[in-house]
Chains A and B, each alone.
Chain A
């Protein structure tokens, strides 16, 4: 763990500590405290305990905190409660990080291993005996939701499609820039076989030649879940952007490091996020960057800086340019640039805004955009958290808490919805799918359908 970077992030959060007036408003919103009385709660483990910390925290109930950020969001005084908690936990776990926490935070590795053998991997994760073993050895709860690997990655789809459409995928130039676990294990279509692109172009896996390029270029950041697991979400986001007239660029990119960050592995996460920034910037200066991974976007926008203290001009540049795809569409609409040509969808759909998204301080752009679709009724859950909070709810000692936190939300989904629910981030969708038994997709599915690009 890098002491210097932690201290920088820490100084930022610590500076907010004195603003705490002990009003307890954060306690009224903490979803973990509501179900786990042994957790001392945000005010206590946050600003209060922080005063007494010199190095490692003496208060071990801190580990119950899921880092959902509901406390920071609620605090009227601007105290960075969740950030303080994340930092203190990183210190607490430094040196004795369970192997499990290292493994489940390796999202790229997980995707790489699972995606070429998707049916097999998915099958294996569903086999109870195997899950029991995984739980025993690694501490991943046997009933925790597991990502379902898609048959082919998004990168592969995008590159193939670019080629089919006569785009000009540039050469797969500089592989050595990627870390070892980001190096693809087999050649990708498009890039490897591809024709030579313009000299000095970004290390792109492809470039599309849309029918109308009227709106110029845009960079798509897929995140690792969006590449290997939630591939349909990425595809639809790209199709919507192209439909609107953007030329979508997908530079070769690795992981944002969020899972490592939330597990307190700050060194690895910092490396990830800086490499990602370089990759996204390689596509072109000043281009908008759009992502359908709400949590990865949050990592780039503020968590890398506020929690880990990463303070490079490259990160600052990317964090000011990156937008969640629904935020991007809502902003287009606010600027009067989103055509209201939506086909009606007659449905009532429950919507859960993930804590990761809410903590970005942008409101709930999905609601703004979906409100433009005639006939569609979206009911917001009003719940703080689904329980999963990244990888928290995967861990066997936290699984019961995650389920208790999520239970009222699962019920709300079942009561409100037909067969479809919506939610902006990947792990929350996995948790909601499992908890509610419903299909749960990214809101872009509905936009995609309403634009006549296919069924949701």
Chain B
């Protein structure tokens, strides 16, 4: 077996590559750039909105309608995909209950349902009458405690009742690594990794948060570990929770980095800066993909290919000036196509059906043509390229990525056997 080539370094690509490597399959991961994890919340969303909040995601997944990618993936593969992720990340990286969604506050003060989350977000699960102090940092853009607290205070909890959030601002203590007037979330997070800094911040916050049950802070408490969050929790003597910010999202970044090093440890060979631009196929099988590289393109041959290139955001799907939508590498058949005024509507908040456009797969995660026949016998697709779901509206992105990655790996195992 010459092994498997995985294309794409997002959640689905990394998960598929790690799962294959764990099974002893030689695997090569080829990607143009890093995946979108630093754009995500750092949580594992399985199914959150329907559009009403979903309480039990796996049950909802099991009842996915015809045409929804969860239908081909199946709830059992989602469960195994999530278990794979937990196993890869190790004890204490994520917590929560895969059966039941938890509501967590966003930077705007909405409550969003998710299945798993980092321990540093756990105390943000709301309860009636909880007194929260939301503290913003002067130099951190994108977290405005008054806005968040205002929205939270008028949001009724599903079981009834409200949290009582108050808003506070803190001038961050100086640090040589902090630099000028405002700093990126990443810069501030690195300063929180410096010895003694979290203690200093805890001393400054303490007077602001007296009489509160929990403290909500922008998610900048460390670029890598959880030390800063643990220190703040200990020093303040009450639960502290992080609230995810717009990109770069630190919780998402931490997850991405952890998975990437895990892949490395498992012996996954990674080629970054390698956009796959061409492929060769023979007798209904993909023989090789060819990636751009300095000098000359490099061919990657394999028995099986897992294609995890993301969707519109990563450029795997594009729309031309005549509104023609194509999948750029293999030219795969797409579902969900319609005249452009049906796909994109002027009402910004409406369901934009363009994001449902994507590839349809069979149970083996192979892209199929309109007749339902697989396009190539050894090409499988995972992640955001799968059509039929609007991930951010449904809050289903990670579940789809992990479930399809797992289903593809299982299918490869079956076909090799």
Contact = CB atoms under 8 A, between A and B. Distances in A.
Contacts of A382: 260-261, 264
Given A77-B315, A363-B274, A25 B39 contact: yes
B301 A76 contact: no
Given A25-B39, A37-B180, A361-B274, A78 B186 contact: no
A324 to B, nearest CB: 9
B187 to A, nearest CB: 6
A103 to B, nearest CB: 28
A364 B269 contact: yes
Interface residues of A, number: 43
B259 interface: no
Given A27-B184, A362-B294, A73 B301 contact: no
Contacts of A72: 273
A287 to B, nearest CB: 15
Contacts of B291: 361
Contacts of A107: none
B208 interface: no
Contact of B271 (A24, A74, A301, A362): A362
B260, B296, B313 — most chain A CB neighbours (10 Å): B296
A358 B272 contact: yes
A24 B38 contact: yes
A33 interface: yes
Interface stretch (B29-37, B320-328, B362-370): B29-37
Contacts of B190: 34
Contacts of A27: 184, 186, 248
A360 B314 contact: no
A363 B269 contact: yes
Interface in B244-269: 247-248, 253, 260-261, 264, 267, 269
A419 interface: no
Interface in B32-48: 32-36, 38-39
Contact of B178 (A19, A37, A302): A37
A270 interface: no
Given A74-B34, A76-B32, A364-B269, A24 B295 contact: no
B177 interface: yes
B28 interface: yes
A178 B247 CA distance: 52
A320 interface: yes
B32 A78 contact: yes
Contacts of B278: none
B273 A73 contact: yes
Given A23-B38, A27-B184, A35-B177, A302 B294 contact: yes
A74 B256 CA distance: 12
Contacts of B230: none
Contact of B264 (A21, A362, A380): A380
Interface in B14-64: 28, 30, 32-36, 38-39
A73 B28 contact: no
Nearest to B189: A28
Nearest to B183: A37
B271 A361 contact: yes
A169 interface: no
A312 interface: no
B38 A25 contact: yes
Interface in B263-287: 264, 267, 269-275
A261 B93 CA distance: 44
A74 B32 CA distance: 8
Interface string A350-388: 000000001111111001100100000000101000000
B67 interface: no
Given A23-B247, A27-B186, A28-B248, A37 B177 contact: yes
A38 interface: yes
Contacts of A34: 190
A257 interface: no
Contacts of B180: 37-38
A286 to B, nearest CB: 13
A29 B34 contact: yes
A320 B179 contact: no
Contacts of A319: 294-296
Contacts of A363: 28, 30, 269-272, 274
A4 interface: no
A90 to B, nearest CB: 20
Given A34-B190, A302-B295, A361 B273 contact: yes
A24 B310 CA distance: 18
Contact of B295 (A25, A28, A322): A322
Contacts of B351: none
A368 B247 contact: no
Interface in A2-40: 19, 21, 23-25, 27-29, 33-35, 37-38
B189 to A, nearest CB: 10
B184, B187, B270, B294 — most chain A CB neighbours (10 Å): B294
Given A24-B248, A38-B179, A75-B33, A334 B301 contact: yes
A368 B271 CA distance: 12
B34 A24 contact: no
A309 interface: no
Contacts of A393: none
A73 B310 CA distance: 17
Contacts of A251: none
B293 A24 contact: no
A19 B247 CA distance: 17
A76 B269 contact: no
B28, B176, B179, B183 — most chain A CB neighbours (10 Å): B179
Contacts of A19: 315
A265 B253 CA distance: 37
A41 interface: yes
A395 to B, nearest CB: 21
Contacts of A28: 38, 186, 248, 253
The 4 closest A-B pairs by CB, nearest first: A37-B179, A363-B271, A301-B295, A76-B33
Interface of A: 19, 21, 23-25, 27-29, 33-35, 37-38, 41, 72-78, 298, 300-302, 319-323, 334, 358-364, 367-368, 371, 380, 382
Given A363-B274, A364-B271, 8 more contacts: A25-B247, A28-B186, A37-B187, A302-B294, A323-B295, A361-B271, A361-B294, A363-B271
Interface of B: 28, 30, 32-36, 38-39, 176-180, 183-184, 186-187, 190, 247-248, 253, 260-261, 264, 267, 269-275, 291-296, 298, 301, 310, 313-315
7 contacts: A76-B34, A77-B314, A78-B32, A319-B295, A362-B274, A364-B270, A382-B260
